[in-house]
Chain A
């Protein structure tokens, strides 16, 4: 089955800098890639997604890139703020079913 790997287990940046979290997947049938954020003591919160028919998507300070050939996708957070600090999970799903495969999560720390 699908295996999603998240390369950075922890990431520390200064407020205002950009943060990049990288993920890879194995199954070429995966076509939907959501990102979730989990703040301490809270549930997973959907932040942004990208589908395989595009290679870039932006929502305010969040940019996701998808390289289908390399089976890589990444989340870029620009102009980071302390409230961006959380665990970020990348995930992959196939279009034919809604089962989500998660990465292990990246703990992002934004230092003031």
Chain B
């Protein structure tokens, strides 16, 4: 079936550095999402994105976070600067129809901030 890819699978960085997480969504999808899952906790919504704009973001989407999808390439989540509490697995998802809400998820990027 359709696949969402995420690069890298693991990333370890020092607190205060910048990190960019990359998502390669399903090719004909137009809606994109990021979710965050801290170890042992629920998966939580961060942000969704359509037509070059953030449509909705949660309180977890701090000012240090930004998303973009320049020229139809990767959908990225950038964190600058990173903090210890940003350590989590970040899942990207994409969907083809806003109202259907059937989202296809990537395998996640495990981010460790030291």
| Interface set of A (CB-CB < 8 Å, partner B) | 32, 34, 36, 42-46, 49, 89, 93, 95, 97-104
Contacts and interface: CB of A to CB of B under 8 A. Distances in A.
Interface in B84-114: 91, 95, 98-99, 101-108
B76 interface: no
16 contacts: A32-B101, A34-B101, A36-B105, A43-B105, A43-B107, A44-B91, A44-B105, A45-B105, A49-B101, A98-B95, A98-B99, A99-B45, A100-B35, A100-B103, A102-B42, A104-B41
Interface residues of B, number: 25
Given A44-B91, A89-B43, A99 B56 contact: yes
A22 to B, nearest CB: 16
Given A32-B101, A43-B91, A104-B42, A97 B107 contact: no
